[in-house]
Amino acid sequence: MRLSLLFLVCCCTVMRILPQCATAAKARHFRWEVSNMFWSPDCEEKVLIGINGQFPGPTIRAKAGDTIVVELKNGLHTEGVVIHWHGIRQIGTPWADGTASISQCAINPEETFTYRFVVDKPGTYFYHGHYGMQRAAGLYGSLIVDVADGEEEPFKYDGELNLLLSDWYHESIYTQMVGLSSKPFRWIGEPQSLLINGRGQFNCSLAAAHTPGAKQCAVAGGGNRHCAPVILPVLPNKTYRLRVASTTSLASLNLAVGNHKLTVVEADGNYVDPFLVDDIDIYSGDSYSVLLTTNQNPSANYWISVGVRGRQPKTSPALAILNYRPNRASNLPPSPPPPTPAWDDFARSKSFTHRILGLAGNTPPPPAKSDRRIELLNTQNRMDGHIKWSINNVSMVLPSTPYLGSLKMGLKSAMPPSSESPSDTFGRGYDVTRPPANPNTTAGGNLYVIAHNATVDVVLQNANALARNVSEVHPWHLHGHDFWVLGYGEGMFDEKLASAAFNLRNPPLRNTAVIFPYGWTAIRFVADNPGVWAFHCHIEPHLHMGMGVIFAEAVDRVGELPKAAVSCGATATALMAGNGGGHV
């Protein structure tokens, strides 16, 4: 089988004549230009970051095994840019992970950087900016990988619908970033709108008939095309795959479809043991596929409702219309939109999350034991009048010279202070149920050096924030890897009790895992992908406030870096200095 695939690839490359070539993995080329543009995602005009004049950016659709080539031109005027391919492991191409300060130099204005990487695994992915808070400025889009030709999904469906969920603020990210860095601190607050495929409605509701006091939004015609409601056409008595991903800046979401049940079949590009639910929770950085059968009264349309969970919601749900054809899309559903579960019903949230398990016969089991355990205490702290998030009492700052280059070249002076040897654990005396006794924190690189092929457990330990009786939800996302989620627990992680209860039989493989308030989450991964990988809370302002760590993995085994990935800062200077004859 491998030989024959190789044969086909050779055919395509060398001869380009055999009809079978159409079925082999191929390179998919894209030319993108990122730029600021006027857009009205929720009918209020703002400036956002688009790609090729579109928001959200173009959807990439590929087949497993394909090579994606994106020539990304930065058309911003004074800002650098990078794009992270969320969920793609970048095996052998860590310089294409698209993380500023970590995997590459930010692309300067008017420069072009070529991302070239293999999408090795089918699934529902997305991409987004990973510099400052540019994701929250609208720099994102969908990346969907189908199974390779000749392969089959472990479930059947008749059609497919794609929903990329996000939240939207009317303040610019510049203002947001200044506020988060200011003394006194200014929180960004709750988003003004939720968006489905980049569209939302502010100050009106599509379901005004069911929403006391709300103004009816235009359903079609007359409206601004940027914020026209999302219509999802379906035929009765079919089964659809809904691909759902969340790239929110802050909000944890819940998605429900009026009158319809959903069967969860995929999470973060990995198949899961199917289970039936009324709605799904989806945290920033998550993606899911759910199957929906159009078995309801075909004379009506139905609401798709996306609301906020996990924080007291101040944002109206986003609505889309599941349009049973041949009904007109403008026939609004007669029933009220399905209500979002109570924001603080964490028992319900946990129940959903705990049901996500690996698909037997498909999900590889984790190694039985780990070589190292890294415990990461998540706390909210103060530093010199600022408010920060810290990991083991160090708030992450990123270097101006990206790690992948500086580590490969051994430029230790390019690292942030105290980057080396952060602690693998934290004092067990810490009381996670109360605000920190000593709220002061420091800044550092939080750079963990991981041995090649080590099996690593990470315990993410949540705690009380600065205010009493507050502990927040944090979805942590790992770059360069999927991980098994071994278990979730309440309160302080207890090594003996917890380890004994780890699920080593059918844990799900994911790239994002949530920690619930006052709880812990344990994950396991194998450090088999040389590179430098971010591991961080996917909430944009939390990352900006320092909530992350870096895993440097066998950097000596990383291949030659593209020059453009290191042509900045200390790596550029060092390489230029190495040029004996070439004083400028």
Buried b or exposed e, range 331-342, using 16+ CB within 10 angstroms: ebbeeebbebbe
Q: How many residues of this chain bind a second copy (CB under 8 A)?
A: 54
Burial of 179 (0-12, 13-18, 19+ CB in 10 A): middle
Single residue of 92, 109, 435, 439 touching a second copy by CB under 8 A: 109
Q: How far is the CB of 303 from a second copy (least distance, A)?
A: 35
Minimum CB distance to a second copy, residue 302 (Å): 38
Q: Which of left, alpha, beta for 558 (phi over 0: left; psi -120 to 50: alpha)?
A: beta
Closest among 481, 477, 486, 459 to 526, alpha carbons compared: 481
Nearer to a second copy, 87 or 198 (CB): 198
Q: Which is nearer to a second copy, 109 or 439 (CB)?
A: 109
The reply to whether 584 sits near a second copy by the rule CB under 8 A is: yes
* Interface region with a second copy, contact rule CB under 8 A, candidates 126-134, 201-209, 440-448, 493-501: 126-134
Among 111, 273, 371, 424, binds a second copy (CB under 8 A): 111
Candidates 86-94, 361-369, 475-483, 560-568; binding stretch for a second copy (CB under 8 A) = 560-568
Residue that has been written with the tokens 């895992």 in this structure: 513
Interface map 394-433 toward a second copy (x if CB under 8 A) = ----xxx----x--xx------------------------
Q: Residue 522 carries which side chain, given as an amino acid letter?
A: A
Alpha-carbon gap, residue 462 to 518, rounded angstroms: 5
Residue with tokens 């200390």, as numbered in its chain = 570
Rounded CA Rg of the chain: 24
Out of 3, 17, 19, 78, the residue judged to bind a second copy by CB under 8 A? 78
Work out how close the CB of 37 gets to a second copy at its nearest, in angstroms, rounded to a whole number: 6
> Of 55, 85, 131, 426, which one interacts with a second copy (CB under 8 A)?
131
Q: Is 376 in the site for a second copy (CB under 8 A)?
A: no
| Least distance CB 132 / a second copy (angstroms) | 4
Q: Taking CB under 8 A as the rule, which mask of x and - marks residues 307-346 in contact with a second copy?
A: ----------------------------------------
- Identify residues 459-498 at the interface with a second copy (CB under 8 A): none
For a second copy, the binding residue among 289, 305, 378, 567 (CB under 8 A) is: 567
* Owner of token pair 């130099």: 105
Out of 36, 54, 330, 425, the only residue in the binding site for a second copy (CB under 8 A) is: 36
Which of 27, 110, 453, 505: binder of a second copy (CB under 8 A)? Answer: 110
Nearest to 360 by CA among 279, 261, 274, 426: 274
Pairwise CA distance, residues 320 & 337, whole Å:
10
Q: Give the DSSP letter string of 483-539.
A: EEEEEEEESS--HHHHHHH---SSPPEESEEEE-TTEEEEEEEE--S-EEEEEEE-S
Residue among 6, 7, 38, 342 that touches a second copy (CB under 8 A): 38
Q: How far is the CB of 394 from a second copy (least distance, A)?
A: 18
Exactly one of 178, 342, 466, 501 binds a second copy (CB under 8 A); that residue is 178
Q: Which residue shows structure tokens 């004092």?
A: 427
Among 23, 172, 263, 503, binds a second copy (CB under 8 A): 172
Helix intervals (H) in 135-254 = 173-181
134 binds a second copy (CB under 8 A): yes
Which strands make up the sheet holding 83-86, listed edge to edge?
60-63, 140-146, 123-129, 83-86
Region near a second copy per CB under 8 A, out of 307-315, 421-429, 433-441, 565-573: 565-573
Locate tokens 């990122």: which residue? 34
Q: How far is the CB of 411 from a second copy (least distance, A)?
A: 11
Contact 282, 288 (CB under 8 A): yes
Handedness of CA 462, 463, 465, 467 (dihedral sign): positive
Contact assessment for residue 32 and residue 85, using Cβ atoms and an 8 Å cutoff = no
Among 58, 159, 179, 489, binds a second copy (CB under 8 A): 179
The residue within the footprint of a second copy, chosen from 174, 420, 451, 469 (CB under 8 A), is 174
Options 54, 108, 335, 506; binder of a second copy; rule CB under 8 A:
108
Stretch that binds a second copy, among 103-111, 156-164, 382-390, 524-532 (CB under 8 A): 103-111
Distance CA 60, CA 29 (A): 10
Contact 113, 80 (CB under 8 A): no
**Separation between Cα atoms, residue 166 and residue 412, nearest integer Å:** 38
Q: How far is the CB of 561 from a second copy (least distance, A)?
A: 4
User: What letter would DSSP give residue 350?
Assistant: H
Query: DSSP label at 12?
Result: I
The nearer residue to a second copy, 507 or 531, going by C-beta atoms, is: 531
Angle at 267 between CA 261 and CA 271, to 5 degrees: 95
Nearer to a second copy, 107 or 522 (CB): 107
The residue to which tokens 């190495």 are assigned:
578
The reply on whether position 572 binds a second copy by CB under 8 A is yes
Phi first, then psi, for residue 322 (nearest 5°) are -85, 110
Which residues lie near a second copy (CB under 8 A)? 35-38, 47, 77-81, 100, 106, 108-111, 131-134, 172, 174-175, 177-179, 181-182, 398-400, 405, 408-409, 560-561, 563-564, 566-569, 571-573, 575-579, 581-584
